[in-house]
Amino acid sequence: MIESKLLDLAKSRILVTGGSGFLGSHVVEELERHGIPRGRLLLPRSTDYDLVREESVARLFRETRPDVVVHLAAVVGGIGANSARPGEFFYKNLIMGVHLMEQARLSGVRRFLTVGTVCSYPKNTAVPFREDELWNGYPEETNAPYGIAKKALLVQGQAYRRQYGFPAVHLLVVNLYGPRDDFDPSTSHVIPALIKKCVDAREEGRDRIVVWGDGSPTREFLYVKDAARGIVLALERYADEEPVNLGSGTEISIRELVAKIVELTGFEGSIEWDDSKPNGQPRRCLDTSRARERFGFAARIGLDEGLAETVRWFESTRVKPIVA
C-alpha cells in the first residue's frame, strides 16, 4: 500500500531547475504527459538566473511564484571531471541547493524535491545500498565532494522540515543514461563516453580503444525516461523526510558493459584497459524497495533496450568526424 499525500500537480505552478538539461528535458516531457499545461511549467535559464547567487535566486522566486520546485540543476561529470574540478563540484552543487531551498521556504512552496545522487553513499556500502546505510562511512574519494554537497541538501531539507514544516523530499538517483545525454569526453559519464569512443573508432577505422580502470567495478544504470517517471511519481505521491533510492536494481560490471556497447556500436577492434586510471567505487547497486512501496515506482526499460535506444539516438544526431 502506498502511504503518501497526493499533490494535485495539474493545479500547481511547477519550477524545474535544469529543465533544459539532459534529465530536466525528460522530466518536463513527463510532466506534460501528466497533463500539466506548459504555462504552469516554469523553466528558468541560467542566462537569466544565476542559481549560485542568492539575490538572483530570490528574484527568480519573486518573478515566477512557484507552488512546487523540482531541483535538477547541477554541475555533473564522470570520474575525470570530478577529479579535475572537486572544488567547483562541491561549491556550486551545495550553494545552488542552499539558496533555492531557503527561498522556497520563504515563499511557502507546497513541495520541494531535490534529486540527489548515489555518489553520496559510503565507498564500501554493502550491496544492495539501503537508504539506512547513507551515513555509515565516507564516499568514494574521486566524487566525494559532489556526493557530500548533495547529501548536505538532504540534511538541510530535514532540518527545515523539523523547524519550519518545510515539505522537502530527497531522491538518491543512480547513474542515468539515454537520449540527449552529455557525450563530451571531458565531462561525460561512462555510458555516453564509451558509446562515443566506440562509434568514433569505428568511423575512423581505428583498431583499438582505451578504457579507464580494469573493468572490475560494478554499476547500476537507470534509463532517463524511467528516472523522469519516478521523479514525477515521487513529486505527486511522496511527502516524507526519508531519502528514497531511485534506480533499476540491476548491477553490471564495467567489463560486461563495454562488451554490450562494443556489440551495439559495431566496433570490431580490441579493448585496452588502462589500470593506471581510477576505477572509482568498487560496487554500486541500490535497494529500490522503498520507491516501490512508497510511491509505486519500478524501472520498465532494461539495460539492453535502453543502450540500443541510446546508441540509435547518438548515431542519428552526431556530427561525423572528417577522415582525411
Asked whether the predicted pLDDT for residue 263 surpasses 70, the reply is yes
Residue with cell 541510446: 310
Average pLDDT over residues 181-187: 90
Task: Give the tens place of pLDDT for each residue, 100-131.
Answer: 999 999 999 999 999 999 999 999 999 999 99
What is residue 76's predicted lDDT score, i.e. its pLDDT? 87
For the question of residue 160 being annotated catalytic, the response is: no
Q: What is the pLDDT of residues 273-292, one digit of tens each?
A: 999 988 888 899 999 999 99
pLDDT at 78: 81
Catalytic pick among 146, 160, 177, 238: 146
pLDDT digits (tens, 9 = 90+) for 166-175: 999 999 999 9
CA distance 155 to 169: 11
Domain 9-179+220-250+283-301, CATH homologous superfamily name and number: NAD(P)-binding Rossmann-like Domain (3.40.50.720)
Q: Which ranges of the chain would DSSP assign to H, the alpha helix? A: 22-33, 54-64, 79-84, 86-107, 144-164, 190-204, 224-237, 254-265, 289-295, 303-317
Q: What is the pLDDT of residues 191-223, one digit of tens each?
A: 999 999 999 999 999 999 999 999 999 999 999
**pLDDT band of 3, cuts 50, 70, 90:** very low
